Structure 1
Amino acid sequence: MSQLQNIEAIEKRLWGAADLLRANSGLASNEYFMPVMGLIFLRHAYSRYLAVKPAIEAGLPSRGGKTRALTKEDFGQQGAIYLRPEAQFDHLVSLPDSADRAAAIIAAMNGIEADYDALRGVLPKAEYHKIANQDLGELLRKLNPEELKTAHGDIFGRIYEYFLTQFADQGAHDGGEFFTPISIVQMIANLIEPARGTVLDPACGSGGMFVQSANLVERNHGDPTKALTFYGMEKNATTIKLAQMNLAVHGLQGNIAEAISYYADPHELLGKADYVMANPPFNVDEVDAEKVRKDPRLPFGLPGVNNKGKVSNGNYLWISYFYSYLSVRGRAGFVMSSQASSAGRDEAAVRRRLVETGHVDVMVAIRGNFFYTRTVPCELWFFDKAKPEQHRDRVLMLDARNVYRKVTRKIYDFSPEQLANLTSIVWLYRGQSDRFLSLLREHLGQAIVNAQASLDPLLDYLERGRALAEAVGRLADENGEPEAQAAQRAMDEALATLVADVAAYAKVVQQQAARPIAENASNATLHKASERLAPLAETSRDLVKAADHLHKLAGHALEALSSEGKGRELSRLRKTADEARKAAVDALKPVRYFHRQALWLQERFPDAELRDVPGLVKLVSWAEIEANDWSLTPGRYVGVAPEEVDEDFDFEAALRDIHIELKGLNEEAVALATKIARNFEELGA
């Protein structure tokens, strides 16, 4: 399940906490989000602390029967921070009303700052004295929901964005600046593959680029604290503190300077950065042209200047800066406004010179609704100054706008498998077919593993369904009504069919499990494996439908018998069976899902080699780019994908989505009406 699927529940709790402070504290609107962020920091740090503590304790050395005490170094190696007992969130939540909670929270913050030099003077402290003791207790409880206890990934950065969005008047959330979606940060990290050296983000915000870079190194079994050095720039002091907190909670450190990146280069990394990652503010038009005219970070010259002496659009300043910071073998990946890739006039001249360096590597188009607070589409740009000679006069155009997962009504992202598939296309471009084949093996292997795992939930559902059918039969006989007896016969028939289908499915699963995907399986072998797994994948889909059908028939039976006093017993049995059905369906769906992920790649790249795929990818020559006004917009080159028939269309699911959409819109309408009424009251209207 995507972490984003919990975001609305988390939002409501956080906004409840914010409302509590707004109503009861002495803090101004531009101050009171920091105390909450400080506690979110403690909560998330504690979650990570608990996640790694068992493994650390298991590996601690003993001498004379006495185990060595935990140290902060132990936790740093596991991407977490050490928390003294008084800084652990459960301790703070459990404080009685008689305790001075503000003093306890401040003591927790002081303890962390004493252990970690990078956090000295960063964590909020004094503000807690302005909050009533009882309100602090309520605040601690509000910030301790199950959703945050199990949160993982860069949830801290997402919460940071939530507060910047809600507290727009606090001044750190300018137009065009917003949190980078985790899927997009992961794609940038996947494609530039930071492994060792200096990582620079000149518009670092809450530090999400650094966190995902470190995660990638960890996935490759490296130690990011030793492999990578992080440098960031940010113009807002409060945002810098949030970034430092975000880094610390992941066991990382970074040198983040307070600076306006248009005018300053505090780290003096011109030509020295191994990796540049960024999501800069888009379309800024207030940069003083005279201040940047002779900047050595603008090797392609200034883009357009308006009659006020301002750079008409700052997008190409950022693009030039990112390019200039790279070392001779450096790679850059960054988010940019979609309009930048085809902008005309002076910006087109800069873009032409940039393309002619031979270092523009990959362009990726992303659809709208990926950003948490914006619906705008964007593009990801990738530079590689060590680009192979055979690709110097080519640019890989990847249009990912048709690849997405709808997480909530407003938010889309990539599933982990979609992200891996898109990344594997770039592997093929780079001649890394072995990685492509490894991913195929992983997808197909997961289909088999999930098929095996689905058997027990299926058998449990059959048992619950049988008990339900027997109860329906008894009550139908007692009832004697034709409608109830018809419902009972329909259930018996459906159950008998499902029992037979599950038995046949189990036999095929066992046969496939006896033929695991070999680690060195060739492309031809993987095609054969995909073909033989296709019936298994389709059967898993059919079983989902059959399980749902039995559930619907039970509903009909319940309606037919609801007038009887014993209908309550039937309802209980149906509820138990329904819980088992949901577990079985959840276990079955990944079987076909993973097979389809493998098939998605195999249909598009059957020879495990890069080729042009309409609507998805094309390797484009300079000549073609020149003929298109030096445009770097992927959609201009890849064409339109052939229309695909949606074999999985589920009318009831679609209707349910529409209901959710309508429910969300109604809730927003009520909230907006309440806000308007409150504003009128404040105006005395």
Structure 2
Amino acid sequence: MAKKTAAKKQKSMEETLWDSANKLRGTVESSEYKHVVLSLIFLKFASDKFENHKEKLIEKGLEQFAEMTEFYAKDSVFFLPEETRWSYIISKAKQNDLAIIIDTALTTIEKKNPTLKGALPDNYFSRLNMEPSKLAALVDTINNIDTLKDQQQDVVGRVYEYFLGKFALAEGKGKGEFYTPKSIVNLIAEMIEPYKGIIYDPACGSGGMFVQSIKFIESHHGNKKEVSIYGQEQTATTYKLAKMNLAIRGISANMGAVPADTFGRDQHPDLKADFIMANPPFNQKDWRGPNELTDDPRWRGYDVPPTGNANYGWILNMVSKLSANGVAGFILANGALSGGGEEYKIRRKLIENRLVEAILVLPMRMFYTTDISVTLWILNNNKQARIIEQNGVVKNYRDRQDEILFMDLRRLGVPFEKKFIQLSTEEVQKVAYTFHTWQQNSFETDYSDVAEFCYSASIEDVQAKDYSLVPSKYIEFINRDENIDFDEKMAQLKIEFTDLLRAEAQSKNDLLNVFKELGYAIEL
């Protein structure tokens, strides 16, 4: 028994914090509770940064300036008045009006720091009516985070990202649209390589695409100051999440003046982006009225996207925002690969205009909100020969304008959170390497078609398939039925069946408790 305990994997800081905080949730829905937890993490982080900067000012003999906003803003540190600092919050943690104190602190910080305008929750803590004791316990839990312990490891960013992912899992199917799984975002970044220029996300959720873009730049020794970020988000609470998520990492972004619908109120009508990364809502219905947006400039040169599905509305919105050499990587439901009607006409023109560069089918069960298989599209406004300089190294990408690379990643992926799949770091690198090797198209590289993985199709091939972009129509498959891993399928079914039985047992127990509380105990 002792050996088993010793061998048991030690929980990470993020896991420990999640376990502690999640027990305190009680009757508050996770869709609401995430704003409480993440706001407190932000408050603790901002306060730690403030106190650290204040100490440095005092050490330099500048104590008389230690309460002046300007001496913090110039170093991208948020200025916090006395009543907003974490030490003050902790000192009041046992009071019944703790929720009001926290709400007041967040409002005051936002007023004192213009870059946080619209980022922090407004009277959220008071409105949720959390029990004072539970809120105090949550504050104690957040107090355990040493946000400045390791600057290189981005401690608070890790915690924030972990909590966002866990909340997306907790909210489940039909909810959690604010979060795109990290390995998918990594894959997009590695493929389109957003080193320098303008990055845009028309449905940015909590800002994950932007965070991973900056991480990509830093990991490849680039300069994040050479990137400008533009985004848009419709849901007000998610808009705030994104602004907090970026602020917590010191990333500045233009998110538009207010949360707004990208189609009905485009916040960046004249934008031309060098890189677009997006995970817009899948198969969005009734996104415009029958007579609305029919002459929108974003559709110019193409048919008007159908009212019953916004997929091609999102595609054309992104096409209209691409700069002359712009590249887009985005996720869509597989139905967009072969739809008829207006979708067919738009897709045909995109292909004929040589915009479609690559189509990748992703593994199933990667998303927390849906179990369907989805597709990663790469659009490129300049597929012709071009020279790119990255960190002093010149790369010559030769002409692939008359070809489209198809990839099938459904055989890739490693288990994650029991019933989900994610791409490993090695798999992301493998896919990106294959794409860039194909892109370079030189005698020095070794791209070749691989059965059940990738195929470079000519435009004539695609025309012969009536402009279908379904990868399985092009990639060779061998012994398809023999490729089914029976043990893997049974293991997955076992997990799902176990979850169903546990849920049923819990429902039965809850029902018995209800009768018991009413004075009608049931003996089974």
After superposition, give the CA deviation of every residue in 1:56-114 in whole Å (9 maximum; x if it has no partner): 99x99987999x989757975xxx97878976768755766259633553464356435
Residues 603-661 of structure 1, C-alpha deviations (whole Å, 9 max, x = no match): xxxx8511101111111100111111211122221122678999xx9x9x999988866
SS of 2:410's equivalent in the other structure is coil
Report the counterpart of residue 165 of structure 2 in structure 1. Answer: 158
Q: How far apart are residue 247 of structure 1 and its match?
A: 1.2
Cα drift, residue 369 of structure 1: 0.7
Matched, 1:621 2:458: yes
Distance 1:279 1:43, change over 3 A: farther
Give the structure with higher Rg (CA).
1
Alignment of 1:481-560 (within 5 A): none
Q: What letter corresponds to residue 188 of structure 1 in structure 2? A: I
Quick check: 1:157–1:207 contact (8 Å CA) kept in 2? Answer: no
1:102 maps to which residue?
99
1:466 alignment partner in structure 2: none
Q: Counterpart of 1:182 in structure 2: which amino acid?
A: K
Is residue 2:146 matched to residue 1:137? no
**Secondary structure in 2 aligned to 1:206?**
coil
SS at match of 2:241: helix
Match of 2:320 in 1: 324
Task: Measure the CA separation in 2 of the matches of 1:17 and 1:427.
Answer: 47
Aligned to 2:199: 199
> Contact 1:338–1:377 (CA<8 Å) still a contact in 2?
yes
Query: What amino acid is aligned across from residue 39 of structure 1 in structure 2?
Result: L
Give the count of matched residue pairs: 479
Residues in 1 aligned to 2:336 and 2:418: alpha-carbon distance in whole angstroms:
28
SS in 2 for 1:41: helix
Q: What is the distance in 2 between the residues matched to 1:374 and 1:394? A: 31
Q: 2:303·2:345 contact (CA, 8 Å) conserved in 1?
A: no
Letter in 2 for 1:394: E
Q: Which residue of 2 aligns with 1:267?
A: 268
C-alpha contact 1:10 1:147 (8 A) present in aligned 2: no
| Distance 1:93-1:682 versus aligned 2 partners, 3 A rule | same
Q: What is the letter of the counterpart of residue 343 of structure 1?
A: G
> What residue number does 2:119 align with?
122
Does the CA contact (< 8 Å) of 1:303 and 1:312 recur in 2?
Answer: no
Which deviates more from structure 2 when the two are superposed, residues 421-430 or residues 618-627? 421-430
Matched residue SS, 1:615: coil
Letter matched to residue 101 of structure 1: L
What residue number does 1:575 align with? none
Aligned position for 1:430: 439
* Correspondent of 2:506 among 652, 665, 671: 671
Q: AA paired with 2:165?
A: R
Q: How far is the alpha carbon of 1:397 from its aligned partner?
A: 1.0
When residues 632 and 14 of structure 1 are mapped into structure 2, their CA distance, relative to the original with a 3 A threshold, is farther
CA shift digits 1:121-167 (9 cap, x unpaired): 5323534344453232123245567899783573354255357559x
Instruction: Give the whole-Å Cα distance in 2 for the aligned partners of 1:350 and 1:223.
Output: 37
Which residues of 2 match residues 188-227 of structure 1 at below 5 A? 188-224=188-224, 226-227=225-226
Question: In 1, distance between residues paired with 2:121 and 2:503?
Answer: 33
Question: Which residue of structure 2 lines up, in the alignment, with residue 231 of structure 1?
Answer: 230
CA distance in 1, matches of 2:79, 2:169: 27
| Distance in structure 2 (CA, Å) of the matches to 1:682 and 1:373 | 35
CA pair 18-69 structure 1, distance change in 2 beyond 3 A: same
Summarize the alignment of residues 384-423 of structure 1 with structure 2, pairs less than 5 Å apart.
Answer: 384-389=380-385, 390-423=399-432
Q: Aligned partners of 2:135 and 2:188: how far apart in 1?
A: 39
Cα offset for 1:245?
1.0
Q: Given the superposition, is the C-alpha separation of residues 112 and 217 from structure 1 closer, same or farther in structure 2, using an over 3 Å criterion?
A: farther
| 1:342 correspondence with 2:338 | yes
Q: Which amino acid aligns with 2:289?
A: D
Contact 2:34 2:167 in 1 (8 A): no
Q: Secondary structure at the match of 2:298?
A: coil
Matched, 1:333 2:329: yes
> Measured at CA, do residues 683 and 159 of structure 1 come closer, stay the same or move farther in structure 2, by a change above 3 Å?
farther
**Residue among 8, 16, 19 paired with 2:23:** 16
Alignment check: 8 A CA contact 1:399 1:617 kept = yes
The amino acid across from 2:254 in the alignment is N
Q: Give the aligned partner of residue 240 of structure 1.
A: 239
1:638 aligns with 2:487: no
Distance (whole Å) between structure 1 residues aligned to residue 297 and residue 353 of structure 2:
17
CA distance in 2, matches of 1:415, 1:126: 40
Listed one character per residue, the Cα deviations across residues 301-354 of structure 1 (whole Å, up to 9, x for unaligned) are: 33564xxxxx13211111111111101111111100011112223311211100
Tell me, what secondary structure is at the counterpart of 1:430? helix
How far 1:682 sits from its partner (Å)? Answer: 11
With over 3 angstroms needed to count, the CA separation of the structure-2 counterparts of 1:669 and 1:83, relative to structure 1, is: farther
Could you tell me how far apart the structure 2 residues matched to 1:120 and 1:163 are? 29
Secondary structure class of the residue paired with 2:440: coil
Distance in 2 (CA, whole Å) between partners of 1:672 and 1:98 is 36
| Partner-residue secondary structure (3-state), 1:418 | helix
Distance in 2 between the 1:75 and 1:641 partners? 59
Matches within 5 A, 1:305-324: 305=306, 311-324=307-320
Other-structure match for 1:379: 375
User: Paired residue for 1:292?
Assistant: 293
Task: Please give the alpha-carbon distance, in whole angstroms, between the structure 2 residues aligned to 1:183 and 1:363.
Answer: 17
Tell me, yes or no, if the aligned pair for 2:419 and 2:492 is still in contact at 8 Å. Answer: no
Amino acid corresponding to residue 299 of structure 1 in structure 2: R
Letter in 2 for 1:406: P
Instruction: For 1:332 and 1:415, locate their aligned partners in 2 and report how far apart those are by CA, in whole Å.
Output: 22
Q: What is the distance in 2 between the residues matched to 1:300 and 1:6?
A: 52
Mapped to 2, the partners of 1:369 and 1:135 lie a distance apart of 34
Structure 2 counterpart of 1:238, one-letter code: T
* SS of equivalent residue, structure 1 residue 244: helix
1:157 and 1:620, CA in 2 relative to 1: closer, same or farther beyond 3 A? same
What is the CA–CA distance in structure 2 between the aligned matches of 1:643 and 1:6, rounded to whole Å?
43
Alpha-carbon displacement from aligned partner over 1:217-246 (angstroms, at most 9, x marks no partner): 22222342x222222222222221111111
Residue identity opposite 1:41 in structure 2: F
Tell me, what secondary structure is at the counterpart of 2:345?
helix
- Matched residue SS, 1:18: coil
User: 2:393: which partner in 1?
Assistant: none
Output the amino acid matched with 2:473: R
What amino acid is aligned across from residue 505 of structure 2 in structure 1?
V
C-alpha change, 1:627 and 1:21, in structure 2 (3 Å) is: closer
Contact map agreement 1:279 1:335 (CA 8 A) in 2 = yes
User: Quick check: which one's helix share is greater?
Assistant: 1
Query: Quick one: structure 1 residues 83 and 411, their matched pair in 2 at CA, closer, same or farther if it must change by over 3 Å?
Result: farther
1:280, CA displacement in angstroms? Answer: 0.9
Q: Percent identity?
A: 30
Aligned residue identity for 1:190: E
Q: Which stretch shows the higher mean deviation, 191-200 or 614-623?
A: 191-200
Q: Deviations over 1:257-290 (max 9, x none)?
A: 32222233221235x1222111111112212242
What secondary structure does 1:262 align onto? coil
1:368 Cα offset (Å): 0.9
Which residue is 1:251 aligned to?
Answer: 250
Distance 1:416 1:85 in 2: 44
Give the TM-score of the pair, scaled to structure 1.
Answer: 0.60
Gapped runs of 5+ residues in structure 1?
23-28, 306-310, 435-606
What amino acid is the match of 1:126? N
CA distance in 1 between counterparts of 2:295 and 2:514 reads 49
**8 Å contact 1:154–1:211 — kept in the other structure?**
no
Partner of 1:368: 364
Contact residue 18 and residue 36 of structure 1 kept, 8 A: no
Mark the CA change 1:279 to 1:221 in structure 2 (over 3 Å): closer, same or farther.
Answer: same
| Structure 2 unaligned regions, length at least 5 | 1-8, 148-154, 386-398
Q: RMSD value over aligned CA atoms? A: 4.6
Tell me how far apart the structure 2 counterparts of residues 673 and 74 of structure 1 sit (CA, whole Å). 59
Distance 1:303 1:44, change over 3 A: farther
Mapped to 2, the partners of 1:275 and 1:415 lie a distance apart of 24
1:171-229 Cα offsets, whole Å, 9 max, x none, are: xx59xx452111111111111111222221111111111111111122222342x2222
